[in-house]
Amino acid sequence: MKKNLVIFFLTTFLVSSSLADARQNDLLNLVEVLNDNGTITTMQYEELKDGLSANTPVQKDPEITDVQVSTKGGIEIATCDGQYAFELGGRLMVDAAFYDQDRNDHGNGTELSRVRIDIEGVLHGDWGYELGIDFADGGADIKDAYVSYDAFWPAKIQIGQFKEPFSLEALTNSKYITFMERALPHEFAPGRSIGVGARSHGDVWSAAAGLFGEAFDDDVKDEGDEGWGMTGRATFSPLHSETRVMHFGAAASFREPNDEKKVRFNQRPESHITDIKYLDTGKIDHTDRVMKYGLEAAGVFGPLSLQGEYISTNVSRDGGSEDCSFDGYYVYVSWFATGETRPYKEKKGGFGRIKPKSKNGALELAARYSMMDLNDGSITGGKEENSTFGVNWYINPHTRLMANYILVNNDKHADADGDLAGNDDPKIFQARFQIDF
Amino acid sequence: MKKNLVIFFLTTFLVSSSLADARQNDLLNLVEVLNDNGTITTMQYEELKDGLSANTPVQKDPEITDVQVSTKGGIEIATCDGQYAFELGGRLMVDAAFYDQDRNDHGNGTELSRVRIDIEGVLHGDWGYELGIDFADGGADIKDAYVSYDAFWPAKIQIGQFKEPFSLEALTNSKYITFMERALPHEFAPGRSIGVGARSHGDVWSAAAGLFGEAFDDDVKDEGDEGWGMTGRATFSPLHSETRVMHFGAAASFREPNDEKKVRFNQRPESHITDIKYLDTGKIDHTDRVMKYGLEAAGVFGPLSLQGEYISTNVSRDGGSEDCSFDGYYVYVSWFATGETRPYKEKKGGFGRIKPKSKNGALELAARYSMMDLNDGSITGGKEENSTFGVNWYINPHTRLMANYILVNNDKHADADGDLAGNDDPKIFQARFQIDF
Amino acid sequence: MKKNLVIFFLTTFLVSSSLADARQNDLLNLVEVLNDNGTITTMQYEELKDGLSANTPVQKDPEITDVQVSTKGGIEIATCDGQYAFELGGRLMVDAAFYDQDRNDHGNGTELSRVRIDIEGVLHGDWGYELGIDFADGGADIKDAYVSYDAFWPAKIQIGQFKEPFSLEALTNSKYITFMERALPHEFAPGRSIGVGARSHGDVWSAAAGLFGEAFDDDVKDEGDEGWGMTGRATFSPLHSETRVMHFGAAASFREPNDEKKVRFNQRPESHITDIKYLDTGKIDHTDRVMKYGLEAAGVFGPLSLQGEYISTNVSRDGGSEDCSFDGYYVYVSWFATGETRPYKEKKGGFGRIKPKSKNGALELAARYSMMDLNDGSITGGKEENSTFGVNWYINPHTRLMANYILVNNDKHADADGDLAGNDDPKIFQARFQIDF
C-alpha cells in the first residue's frame, strides 16, 4: 500500500470559494426576483434570505498555518506567513585533470571535488540559519554554520562560521564561479572563520564587517590563544540594470595569528587534483600581525563581462625579523555566445546563477590571467603567472560542464618551498561536471 | 519557472463542502417553497429534487493516505494514520571562552561546539528509529543510532547505539541543559554504547535498563573482546503538575572492560574550548570490573528549581592491584526571572524545552557547585571543586544565549596526570549562542 | 504554537468542483422552470442566466505545479509532471559477532555496520543524481555520488562515483543481500570508482559498461597517475515472471594500477567485526595490469532460489616477475518458509526488496558455500572455504533480523600474510538488526 498524497493547489480554494460566493449571489438574486414577482411571500423570502446569510465560511484555526512545499531537485518548505522555512539542497562536482608535465611529475586523475549538503532555514520570522557540510575528502568539512538575525534594522547580524567579507571571487558561491578554481590570489582571502558579523546594503552599495576567531579546525594547542581578526568590505555599484552592471569594491582585513606567531601562504596552480603547491612561503615565524587589502571591479555589458581583483598582504614581524609583503591579481573576460548575462546581486555585491535562455543551454567562453608573487626579501615563496582558457556549457540552470586549459608559468623560486624543481611550466587540461539541487 | 505549490488546509474542504451542503439545502428549501406556492408543478419539483440528491460526494481512495507536513525550522512529515513519519532537524552551538589563567596556560578562543543533524522516523506504526550525527569536530560522530519497537507492551525496546540510562543530567538533551557544560561527575556517566535496552513508565515512575557493548568508535584490536556492561535506572516523581515537580532517581551500572583491562577517568574544567583535563587518573590497569551508582533528585516550584546528583565509581582490580573508588556530585539552583517553569517529562524522568512566556524571551539565573574526586590510595587523579554562575536568555523557544562564569578550585593532584602544575585555580568566562530546528 | 498543516487529497477539488458544477446546473434548471412557468419574466430570466454563466472556474496558474509528498519512514517529494523529485532515506544496521576461536584470537563485539543517508533526485526531467554517505566508521564515506542522464536513448549515462558493473552480489544493495556479508570472492569485484558509464536493457537482457579512474579515497601521491579501468557486464534472463526467474550474466574488467604498480587482495572471513583478514597476498609489485572475469547464474522457483558466481583474477606483471592468477566462487540456496519470492529487477539484472506476505513477516532459510584461492606460484595468499547457514526474519518490508553461522576452513597459507597461524578453522556466529527508511 503506497502511502501517498496528491496535493492540489490553491485553485481548489479559489474555485470552490469563488463559485460558492457566486452561487450565494445567484440564489439571492433568484430569491429576490421571486419576492419581487410575488411568487413567494415576504415571510418565505425572509426565511430564505436568513438561511443564505447563515452560511458564512468556516473560520480557519489561527493556530494552523498554511505551508508551501516545493522541489527543484532538493526540498523546500515554508509557512505562508514567512515565519518558518526549511530547505535542503546540495551540489556534486566530478573532476578530471590531465597534466602536460614539464619539470616535475603531476598525477593525472579524477576527483569528487565537492559533495556538499546545504541546509538552511528560518525560525520565528527574524532568525535564520545556514549549515553546509562537504564530504568530498572522505571527512566532513563544515562550511557555513551560522545563525542570522534580520530584525536589527538596517543590518543583518551573523553569528557562527561564515566567510569573512573579502574578495569578490571568494564570496562567489563555488556553484557560480566562472573557472573551475578561483584565481591564484584567492590564497590571500581569509576564508571562513568563527565570529560575529553585520551586513547592510542600499540601492547602490553594500557593506559587511566582522570580528573573527579562527575556523573550526584551526584550533591551536592549549598553551596558546587562538588568532583573531577583523575584516570589512564595501561595494559600490552605480549602475546595475538587468544587462548592465558596474561594480567596485574594497576590503581590508587585520589578523593577529595565534601564539605560535606563524603564517604560511601556499597555493596550487589553479588545479586541485594535483597536490603540488609551487608557491609556498613556508612558515613565516615571528609574525605579529597581517594586514590585507583588496580592490575589486567588475563590469557587465549584456553577454560580455569583465572582472578583476588585486590583493596585497603585509606581514608585520617582531624579534628583529624583517616585515614582508606579497601580492597578486587577476583579470578575466567572459562572453556568453548564447546571449545570457551574468546576474548581479546588489545586496551582496556579487554574482549568481546563470539561467540559459535556450533549451540547448548556455555557452560561455572565458579567459583569465592571474599572478601571485610570494617573493619579498628573504622570503622566496615564488611567483606564478597563469593564463587560463575556459568553456562552460550550462546544460540547464542546475547542470554545468566546464573545461579549462591552463598555461602555468613559474619562476625559479616556485619550487614548493624547495621540494621541487623551480621554473616548472606545465600545461593543465581539466574538466568538471557539476549538478546542484 | 518556479516549481511551487501552495497547499491549503482542510478549511478548503470544510468551506467548500459545508457551503456545498448549505447550498444544497438552500436550493432544496427554495424548490420546496416554490412547490408549496404552486409556482412549480409536482413533476418539476420531483425532477429538481432528484437532480439535487444525485450529487453525492466523490469517495476518497482508501489506498491513499493523508499526510501532514510542517516546519518549525526543520521539516516534519507524518501520515495522518500515524503509521509513518519522518523528521529532520538539527542544532548549532557557537562558543567563545576566555580564561583568567592562574598557574597554567589555556587558550582563549572560539568553537562550534555542536553542529548536529538529527533524523527520526516511524515505520509500520510500531517501529521507530533515531539517527544523530555531529560534525563539530570536522569528522562525523555518530550520536543516537537506534531502532525502537513500541508494541511489546508495556515496554519500549531499543536496539543500536543510545545513551545508557544513567544520570539525570547525562540524559538531558544538550539543547536543554541549564549550564553550557554538564557538571564534573558527568565523566562517570557511561554515555552512549551499542546495545539492547527496554524502558517503561507509569504515572509516577519510569524505569530503563540495557545490555551494552561499546560505542561505535571504541573497538579494541582484534586480539581482544570488547567490553560489555549492564545499566539500569529508575525514577520516581510523586508530584508533577505544570508548576510543581518532585523527582528522585537511582541508577547502577556494571561494566567489564575489554581485554586490555584498563580504564581511565579524566575531565575538563566544565569548559570545552580548552583541552586541559586537570583531573586525570591515567590508565588504571588490571581492571576487572567497574561498578557505578548514581542518586539524583530535583524539585521544581514554579520559576525556581533545584537539581543534584551524586555518582560513585568503584574499580575492582585483579593481579594484586588494590581496588579504588572515586566519586563526585553537583547541586544547582535555577530561577526564571520571567516566570517560566522547567518542564518535566515524566515518561523519561527528565527535563525538556523552555518556552518563553513573553515576546522578549525568558531570562534564567543559575548557580552550580560541583565536585569530583579522583584521588584514592595510589591513584592520584586530583580533586576539583567548581562554582559556576550562569545567565540564560531564551530569545525564543529555539534560540538561546548562555553565559557562564566558573571559579575553578583544584587540589595539588589535579595536574593532568603530571603534565601540568597542580593547585591551579583559573577563572573561566564562556558564552554560547545556540539554535535548534 | 504548532505550525502544522493537514493536507487533503484531491477529493477536495473533485467534491467541490463537481458539486459546484452540479449546483450550477440545479440553479439553471430551476431558473428555466421558473421561466417556463411564467413565474419570472424573460428579462429576469436572461439576467439570472447571464449571472450564472459568468461564474467560470478560475484557471490554474500554469507556472505552478502540483507536487506529491509522501513518507515511508523517510521523505519523498515529486512534482506531478515528473520533472523534479527529491528523496531522503537511510539505513541502520546493528551487528554483534561471537567467535568460537581455533588457533588465533578474534574479538567478540558489537558494531554499527552501516549508518547511511541516501539522497536522490530528479532535475529538469532527464537529469538525476544519487548521493549516499556512510557514517558507520565515524568518518563520512562517500558511496554513490553520481549524476545520470536518461534522455540519451536508449542508454542511461552516469557520471561520478558508482559501482563498476561487475558481480550480481556486488551490485545487490546491502539492504537486500541474503547473508550478512557478501561471499569471499566479493574481494575481486572492483567496487565503486569515479568514472563515466552507460547502461541499457531490453526485455530479457541488460548491459552496462564504464570507464573509471579510482575511488574518491584512493588518490595516489602527486608523483604518479591514478590507475584506471574499464568494466562491462551483460545479463540474460530468458524467463522472469513473478515467481520464476532464470538469470545468467558475464562480466569483464580491465585495470591498470597507479604508478606504484602494486595490487593487493585480502579478505575477512565473511564477518566484519573481526579485523582479521586470513587471506592476504600482500602487495604484489610490478603489476602491469589486472584482468577479471565473472560468471553468474541465478534461478528462482517460487520460494526457492539458487545463486552462484565464479570470478577469476589475472595479474600481469613486468620486470621479470611472474604473472599470477586467483579465483573464487560461491553458490547458495535460499528458501522462504512463508512463501515469498525473491523479486527480480530485469532492468538492472539483480534482486530487490522482500515484502512479507503475512503480518508476522517472512522467514528465510539459506545456506552458502564459498571459496577463494589466493595461492599461485610464489604468491601464497591462502585459500579459504566457508560454509554459512543463515536465517532471516523480515519483520516488515523495512526491518530485518539476520543470523549467520559460519564454518571457516583455512589452508596453511591463510595466515594474514604471515601475521597469524595458518590452518585456523574458527566458527562464527553473528546477528544483525537492520532498518531502512
When mean pLDDT is compared across A352-356, B69-73, B221-225, C243-247, the lowest value belongs to B221-225
Q: Which residues of B321-341 are buried (b: 16+ CB within 10 A; e: fewer)?
A: beebebbbbbbbbbbbebebb
| Distance between CA atoms of residues A13 and B78, nearest Å | 23
Q: Name the residue among C39, C60, C147 with its Cβ closest to that of A39.
A: C39
For residues A98 and C213, the answer to whether their CB atoms sit within 8 Å is no
Q: Which residues of B touch C73 (CB under 8 A)?
A: 84-86, 121-123, 129
Q: Which residues of B touch C11 (CB under 8 A)?
A: 13, 57-60
What mean pLDDT comes out for the span A374-379?
96
Grid coordinates in use for C293?
Answer: 572475469
Residue (of C295, C347, C328, C350) closest to C177 by Cα position: C350
Name the 3-class secondary structure at A353: coil
Q: Which residues of B touch A78 (CB under 8 A)?
A: 71
Task: Tell me whether residues A135 and C121 touch, CB distance under 8 A.
Answer: no
- Residue C103's CB is within 10 A of a number of other CB atoms, namely 13
Q: Which residues of C touch A96 (CB under 8 A)?
A: 213
Tell me which of B24 and B258 has the higher pLDDT. Answer: B258
Grid coordinates in use for C292?
Answer: 577479471
Name the 3-class secondary structure at C145: strand
Name the 3-class secondary structure at C44: helix
What pLDDT, on a 0 to 100 scale, did the predictor assign at position A20? 43
Task: Tell me whether residues A2 and B112 touch, CB distance under 8 A.
Answer: no
Sign of CA dihedral A164, A165, A167, A172: positive
Residue A36 has pLDDT above 80, yes or no: no
Q: Name the residue among B41, B59, B124 with its Cβ closest to that of C396.
A: B124
- Residue B1's CB is within 10 A of a number of other CB atoms, namely 11
Q: What is the ipTM of this complex?
A: 0.85
Task: Tell me whether residues B75 and A72 touch, CB distance under 8 A.
Answer: no
What mean pLDDT comes out for the span B185-213?
96
The shortest C-alpha distance from A194 to chain B (Å) reads: 7
Torsion over CA of C32, C33, C36 and C42, rounded to 10 degrees?
Answer: -40
- Residue B253's CB is within 10 A of a number of other CB atoms, namely 25
Q: Percent of chain A scored above 90 by pLDDT?
A: 76
Task: Tell me whether residues B15 and A13 touch, CB distance under 8 A.
Answer: yes
The shortest C-alpha distance from A244 to chain B (Å) reads: 23
- Residue A63's CB is within 10 A of a number of other CB atoms, namely 9
Top mean pLDDT of B6-15, B384-393, C151-160, C347-356 is at: B384-393
Report residue A326's pLDDT band, with 50, 70 and 90 as the boundaries: very high
What pLDDT, on a 0 to 100 scale, did the predictor assign at position A346? 86
The shortest C-alpha distance from A136 to chain B (Å) reads: 12
Task: Tell me whether residues C88 and B84 touch, CB distance under 8 A.
Answer: no
Q: What is the pLDDT of residues A99-126, one digit of tens each?
A: 999 999 888 999 999 999 999 999 999 9
Q: Percent of chain C scored above 90 by pLDDT?
A: 76
For residues A121 and B398, the answer to whether their CB atoms sit within 8 Å is no
What mean pLDDT comes out for the span C236-249?
95
Residue B57 has pLDDT above 50, yes or no: no
| Distance between CA atoms of residues C120 and C141, nearest Å | 17
Residue B7 has pLDDT above 50, yes or no: no
Task: Tell me whether residues B67 and C66 touch, CB distance under 8 A.
Answer: no
Q: Which residues of A touch C121 (CB under 8 A)?
A: 71, 73-74, 437
Helices A42-54, B11-37: inter-axial angle, 10-degree rounding: 170
What pLDDT, on a 0 to 100 scale, did the predictor assign at position B385? 98
Backbone angles phi, psi at C421, to 5 degrees: -75, 135
What mean pLDDT comes out for the span C321-338?
97
Residue A61 has pLDDT above 60, yes or no: no
Sign of CA dihedral C411, C412, C415, C417: negative
What mean pLDDT comes out for the span B373-388?
97
What mean pLDDT comes out for the span C343-352?
90
Q: Which residues of C touch B219 (CB under 8 A)?
A: 107, 109, 111
When mean pLDDT is compared across A22-36, A119-133, A192-206, C161-175, the lowest value belongs to A22-36
User: What is the distance in angstroms between the CA of the first residue and the CA of the last residue of chain B?
Assistant: 29
Mean pLDDT of chain A: 88
What pLDDT, on a 0 to 100 scale, did the predictor assign at position B309? 98
The shortest C-alpha distance from C1 to chain A (Å) reads: 6
Strand partners, C396: C399
Task: Tell me whether residues C146 and A65 touch, CB distance under 8 A.
Answer: no
Report residue B29's pLDDT band, with 50, 70 and 90 as the boundaries: low
| Distance between CA atoms of residues C112 and B132, nearest Å | 13
Task: Give CA separation, C166 vs A333, C188, C234, C309, in Å.
Answer: 46, 9, 9, 11
What pLDDT, on a 0 to 100 scale, did the predictor assign at position B406? 98
- DSSP of C332-361: EEEEETT---PPEETTTTEE-----SSTT-
Task: Give CA separation, B125 vs B89, B122, B150, C6, C363, in Å.
Answer: 21, 6, 9, 19, 21
Count of H helices and E strands in chain C?
3, 22
Mean pLDDT of chain C: 88
- Asked if omega into A154 is within 30° of 0 (cis), the reply is yes
Strand partners, C86: C77, C121
For residues A297 and A329, the answer to whether their CB atoms sit within 8 Å is no
Report residue C7's pLDDT band, with 50, 70 and 90 as the boundaries: very low
Total residue length of chain A: 437
Report residue C346's pLDDT band, with 50, 70 and 90 as the boundaries: confident
The shortest C-alpha distance from C341 to chain B (Å) reads: 21
- DSSP of C148-166: EE--STT-EEEEEEEE-S-
Report residue A153's pLDDT band, with 50, 70 and 90 as the boundaries: confident
3-class SS string, C156-203: EEEEEEEECCCCHHHHCCCCCCCCCCCCHHHHHCCCEEEEEEEEEECC
Residue A54 has pLDDT above 50, yes or no: no
Tell me which of C66 and A45 has the higher pLDDT. Answer: C66
| Distance between CA atoms of residues A179 and B396, nearest Å | 43
When mean pLDDT is compared across B4-13, B284-293, C112-121, C140-149, the lowest value belongs to B4-13
Residue A24 has pLDDT above 80, yes or no: no
Residue (of B107, B179, B114, B120) closest to B147 by Cα position: B120
Residue (of A5, C21, A14) closest to B60 by Cα position: A5
Q: Name the residue among C70, C92, C276 with its Cβ closest to that of B222.
A: C276
Q: Which residues of B touch C115 (CB under 8 A)?
A: 131, 133, 142, 145, 216
Q: What is the pLDDT of residues C93-131, one digit of tens each?
A: 999 999 999 999 888 999 999 999 999 999 999 999 999
Residue B382 has pLDDT above 50, yes or no: yes
Report residue A14's pLDDT band, with 50, 70 and 90 as the boundaries: very low
**Which spans in B111-231 are helix H?**
168-171
Report residue C11's pLDDT band, with 50, 70 and 90 as the boundaries: very low
The shortest C-alpha distance from B320 to chain C (Å) reads: 26
- Residue C264's CB is within 10 A of a number of other CB atoms, namely 14
Q: Percent of chain C scored above 70 by pLDDT?
A: 86
| Distance between CA atoms of residues A209 and C56, nearest Å | 56
User: What is the distance in angstroms between the CA of the first residue and the CA of the last residue of chain C?
Assistant: 29
CA angle (C170 as vertex; C167, C172 as ends), nearest 5: 105
Report residue C187's pLDDT band, with 50, 70 and 90 as the boundaries: very high
Q: What is the pLDDT of residues B146-185, one digit of tens each?
A: 999 998 778 999 999 999 999 999 999 999 999 999 999 9
Task: Give CA separation, B381 vs B154, B407, C401, in Å.
Answer: 43, 20, 44
Q: Which residues of C touch A14 (CB under 8 A)?
A: 58
Write out the E strands in C3-136.
67-70, 75-79, 85-100, 109-123, 127-134
What pLDDT, on a 0 to 100 scale, did the predictor assign at position C310? 98
Listed in sequence order, the residues at least 6 apart from B25 whose beta carbon sits closer than 8 Å to its beta carbon are A51
Q: Domain A67-436 sits in which CATH superfamily?
A: Porin (2.40.160.10)
Task: Tell me whether residues C221 and A107 touch, CB distance under 8 A.
Answer: yes
Task: Give CA separation, C117 vs A135, C155, C175, in Å.
Answer: 12, 28, 13
- Chains A and B form CB pairs within 8 A to the count of 241
What pLDDT, on a 0 to 100 scale, did the predictor assign at position B22? 45
What pLDDT, on a 0 to 100 scale, did the predictor assign at position C421? 95
Top mean pLDDT of A341-350, B17-26, B245-254 is at: B245-254
> What Rg do the C-alpha atoms of chain C give, in angstroms?
29
- Residue C154's CB is within 10 A of a number of other CB atoms, namely 9
Grid coordinates in use for B437?
Answer: 530546528
The shortest C-alpha distance from A365 to chain C (Å) reads: 23
Residue A2 has pLDDT above 80, yes or no: no
What pLDDT, on a 0 to 100 scale, did the predictor assign at position B48? 67
Q: What is the pLDDT of residues B307-337, one digit of tens each?
A: 999 999 999 999 899 999 999 999 999 999 9
Residue B41 has pLDDT above 80, yes or no: no
